[in-house]
Amino acid sequence: MSSTDTGNGIATGPAATPGRRAFPAAPASEVIASARRAWLTYLGGMALAFLPFVVFVNDAHWLNIIALTYLMGGLAASWNIIGGFGGQFSLGHGVFFAIGAYTTAIFVTRWGVSPWATMIPTAIFAACVAMLISWPTFRLRGPFFAIATLAFNEVAFVLANHAESLTGGPRGLSIPFRAGLANMIFRDRWAYALLMFGFVALVIALSVWLRRSRLGYYLLAVREDEDAARAAGINVLAVKLKGMALSAGLTAIGGTLFTMYLRYIDPPTLFTLPEVGVKFALLALIGGIGTIWGPLLGAALIVPFENWLRSAYADSLPGFSLAVLGLLMVLAALFMKRGIMGLVEDLLKRTRRKP
Amino acid sequence: MSARPVSTPMLEVRNASKQFGGLRAVDGVSLSVQPGEIVSIIGPNGAGKTTFFNLLTGQLVPTEGEVRYLGESINAVPPHERARRGMGRTFQIAKPLIALNALENVMIGAFLHDAQLGVARDRAYAVLERVGMAHLAARRAGELTLSERRRLEVARALALEPKIVLLDEVMAGLNQAEVGTEIELLRSLHAQGLTFLIIEHNLKVVRAFSERVIVLDRGRLIAEGTAEQILNAPAVIEAYLGAGHAGRGAEVVA
C-alpha cells in the first residue's frame, strides 16, 4: 500500500535519500589520490628499489641478480599493463620480447647500428605486430585468449628455429664484445644494473601515469566487465589494442636490454615459457596483478630465490626450481588472488580501522 | 493513440522482429519515444522484453525492421557508439566494476567527455551527489548493496550526459522503501529534461511514474496507453492472469 503512494507525490525537487549525510561525504579529491601523492609514492618506491644496488655495488654476483631482477620487474610491469590492468592474460609476450631481442641483435651484428638507435623503432615494430596478432585473438575471452597467445609463442619458436638466415636458427646470434656507452656494452656489471633500473623506472612511471589516465581507467573497465564498458561508450577492442601495443612495445625494449646484457640469444632462451612468457605473468601474479608495484615486488622475491634454488639444486635435483615456482604459482592463484600487494593493502586497512 | 507532436522522435522502432531459430522473440513491434517522455514496456515473463531491450541497446540486431535514433537508423551502430551518441543504459543484473570504488565507476562514464582525470573526477562526483550517493564515493562497488549498485549504474549512465536512458528492470529485487526512493530519483531526473524508456515487470512501479505504457506478450505489442488504460485492458489482464479474469486489473496491481 505504501509503495503505490509514492507514485503520487510531487514530480520535482532533488532526489532525497533517507539516511544520506549519515557521515560527511569525503571530497572527490580525497577519494582519488592527487597526482602529487602518486608521484611522491613513485619516487619513494623507486628509491627503495634502488637500495640493493647501492648496497651491492661492488659485488659482481649480486649485481647480476639485481640487474636481472630490475629487468624481470620491468618486463612483468610491462605485461601487467595488458595482463593486469586490461585483464587480458597473455602468455605470448615471449614473442614481443624476442622481436626486441632479434631485431637488436641483427642490426648490431650486421650493420653495427647502435642499440640505442634501434630500441624505439623496434618497440614500435613489436607494438604493430602485437596489434596485428591480437586483433583476431581479442574476440576470445578468458582462458581461450590465454591459450591462443600460448600458441603464438610456440609458432614464433618454430619460426625462429627455421629462419636461419635471419635468426641464426638453433645456433643463435652472438654479439661481439665492444665496450662503450654507444654500443650499450659495458665492462662493469653495475652499468648494466643501472640500465635495467632505468628500464623498470620507466615502465613503472608509465604505469603510474596510465593508472591516472583515461586509457588506464578504460582498461580497468574492460577487465571488470566488457558489457558495462560498452555501455559507458568504450570501444572495447580499441582499448585492448592500445593496451597491448603499449605492453608489447615496452616488452620489446626489455628484449633489447636483455640481448645487450647476455650478448648471446637463441630460440630456447627467448621462447621457453617458464623463463619468459609465463614468467612475466607469474611475477605479476605473485606480487599483485593489476597493481603498480606488484610486478617489481614479485621479481624482487622470485628472481633471487630462483637463482638460489638453481645453484643449490642444479646437480642433485635438476628442474627442482621449476617445480617450486609452479607450486608457488598454484598457491598464489588459490590463496592470494591479489598477490602480496593485496595482502599489504588488507593489512593496512585492518590497522587503520582499529581505533 | 491521441495526437502526438510531429517532431522527430528521439527513439523509434519500426516493425522490428528478432528471430532465434524457430522462436520469434520479438514480432513486428513498432513504437516511438518523444523527447522528454517516460515510456514503460511491461509484459509477463518471456514476453520478449529483454530481447526488445537488447535491440535498442545494440546488443542484438533486428532480423527485420529497424531501430532509429534522432531520425537515423542505428541498426548497424554498435553498443559503445550508441552510448557515445547519448543513449545511456543500465543492466537487469547490475554490472558494477567491483574492484573500483563508486566514484571511479562513475568516472568511467564521465571520461567520455573529458580525458582529464581531475575534470572526470569532479564531474563524476557531481553525478553521485545528484543521485544521493556522494557519501559512498570511496566505497568499493563490490561492497555496495543491491539498490546502491543499481543506483550506481544509473549514475554511470548519467555521467555520459545522455539524451535518453534505457533502464532494464531497475526496481527488481528492491524493497518497497527502495522502490519509492528510486521512483523519486527518476522523477526528479525526468523533471530536469531527461527522456526514459523503462523495461519493468512490476505494474505498480509503472503506474507510479510512467506517462505511457506499452505491453508486450509473446513478442508482440498487445496494448499501448496510459497506465490506467493498460491496467483495465482485457488483453493485458489475460496476458498476466490468463483468460477469464476480465475486470480484475486491480488485482494485478494490488
The helix or strand, by DSSP H or E, that contains position B251, with its residue range, turns out to be helix B249-253
Question: Is residue A325 pLDDT above 60, yes or no?
Answer: yes
Contacts of A119 (CB under 8 A, 6+ apart): A104, A253, A256
What number is the average pLDDT over the span A89-117? 95
Contacts of B119 (CB under 8 A, 6+ apart): B110
Angle at B114 between CA B113 and CA B115, to 5 degrees: 130
Query: A82-118 burial, b for 16+ CB within 10 Å, e for fewer?
Result: bbbbbbbbbbbbbbbbbbbbbbbbbbbeeeeeebeeb
Average pLDDT value over all residues in chain A: 89
| Structural domain for B77, as ranges | 1-86+165-254
> What percentage of chain B carries pLDDT values higher than 70?
92
Chain B from 188 to 217: CB within 8 A of any A CB: 188-191, 204, 207-209
| pLDDT-wise least confident of A119-133, A148-162, B27-41, B201-215 | B201-215
The closest CB to that of B80, out of A4, A9, A233, belongs to: A233
pLDDT at A8: 35
pLDDT classification of B244: cutoffs 50, 70, 90:
low
Are B11 and B58 in a shared domain?
yes
pLDDT at A14: 40
Contacts of B87 (CB under 8 A, 6+ apart): B11, B56, B57, B69, B162, B163, B164, B165, B166
- Separation between Cα atoms, residue A339 and residue B227, nearest integer Å: 54
Question: Is residue A177 pLDDT above 80, yes or no?
Answer: yes
C-alpha cell at B229: 488504460
Are B98 and B61 in a shared domain?
no
Question: Is residue B252 pLDDT above 70, yes or no?
Answer: no
Are B69 and B174 in a shared domain?
yes
Q: Which chain B residues are closer than 8 Å to A213 by Cβ? A: 115, 117
What number is the average pLDDT over the span A65-73? 97
Spans of all domains in chain A = 35-332
pLDDT classification of A354: cutoffs 50, 70, 90:
low
pLDDT at A5: 36
Would you call B238 exposed, middle or buried from its count of C-beta atoms within 10 A (0-12, 13-18, 19+)? Answer: middle
- Separation between Cα atoms, residue A319 and residue A322, nearest integer Å: 5
Are B18 and B130 in a shared domain?
no
| Best-predicted range by mean pLDDT (A165-169, A323-327, B198-202) | A165-169
pLDDT classification of A349: cutoffs 50, 70, 90:
confident
Are B172 and B244 in a shared domain?
yes
Number of domains composing chain B = 2
Chain B nearest C-alpha distance from A277 (Å): 26
Final residue in a domain of this structure, among B102, B136, B161: B161
Bridge-based pairing of strands B72-73 and B64-69 is antiparallel
C-alpha cell at B225: 496507453
B142 DSSP 8-state letter:
G
- Separation between Cα atoms, residue A287 and residue A76, nearest integer Å: 10
What number is the average pLDDT over the span B139-156? 93
pLDDT one-digit tens code per residue, B72-87 = 999 999 999 999 999 9
Are B137 and B189 in a shared domain?
no
Are B2 and B70 in a shared domain?
yes
Structurally, what CATH architecture does the domain formed by A35-332 represent? Orthogonal Bundle (1.10)
Question: Is residue A16 pLDDT above 70, yes or no?
Answer: no
Are B179 and B249 in a shared domain?
yes
Contact A232 B117 (CB under 8 A): no
Q: Which chain A residues are closer than 8 Å to B132 by Cβ? A: 15-17, 20
Are B192 and B240 in a shared domain?
yes
DSSP 3-state assignment of A94? helix
pLDDT one-digit tens code per residue, A20-46 = 444 556 777 778 888 999 999 999 999
Question: Is residue B181 pLDDT above 50, yes or no?
Answer: yes
Question: Is residue A13 pLDDT above 60, yes or no?
Answer: no
Contact B97 A230 (CB under 8 A): no
- Number of helices followed by number of strands (H, E) in chain B: 10, 10
B180 touches chain A (CB under 8 A): yes
What number is the average pLDDT over the span A145-161? 94
Contact A256, B183 (CB under 8 A): no
Question: Is residue B243 pLDDT above 80, yes or no?
Answer: no
pLDDT classification of B200: cutoffs 50, 70, 90:
confident
B97 touches chain A (CB under 8 A): yes
pLDDT one-digit tens code per residue, B209-223 = 778 999 999 999 998
B35 DSSP 8-state letter:
T
Are B254 and B181 in a shared domain?
yes
What number is the average pLDDT over the span A209-228? 96
C-alpha cell at A110: 650486421
Contact B103 A28 (CB under 8 A): yes
Question: Is residue A310 pLDDT above 90, yes or no?
Answer: no
Final residue in a domain of this structure, among B138, B161, B184: B161
Cβ contacts from A onto B, under 8 A: 162
Which CATH number does the domain housing residue B170 bear?
Answer: 3.40.50.300
Contacts of B1 (CB under 8 A, 6+ apart): B224, B225
> What Å distances lie between residue B8 and A48, A292, B241, CA to CA?
63, 50, 37
pLDDT at A344: 84
Q: How many residues are recorded in chain A?
A: 355
Question: Is residue A10 pLDDT above 90, yes or no?
Answer: no
Contact A343, A293 (CB under 8 A): no
Contact A220 B101 (CB under 8 A): no
- Separation between Cα atoms, residue A159 and residue A304, nearest integer Å: 32
Crossing angle for the helix pair A60-80 and A236-262, to the nearest 10 degrees:
170
Q: Which residues pair with B64 in a beta bridge?
A: B17
Q: How many residues are recorded in chain B?
A: 254
Final residue in a domain of this structure, among B129, B161, B193: B161
What number is the average pLDDT over the span B45-52? 89
Are B156 and B169 in a shared domain?
no
pLDDT at A2: 37
- H helices of chain A, in order, are 2-5, 28-31, 35-55, 60-80, 93-111, 115-137, 143-162, 164-167, 189-211, 214-224, 226-231, 236-262, 267-271, 277-287, 294-313, 320-335, 339-353
pTM value?
0.90
Are B106 and B149 in a shared domain?
yes
pLDDT at A28: 77
C-alpha cell at A117: 638507435
pLDDT at A341: 87
pLDDT at B248: 52
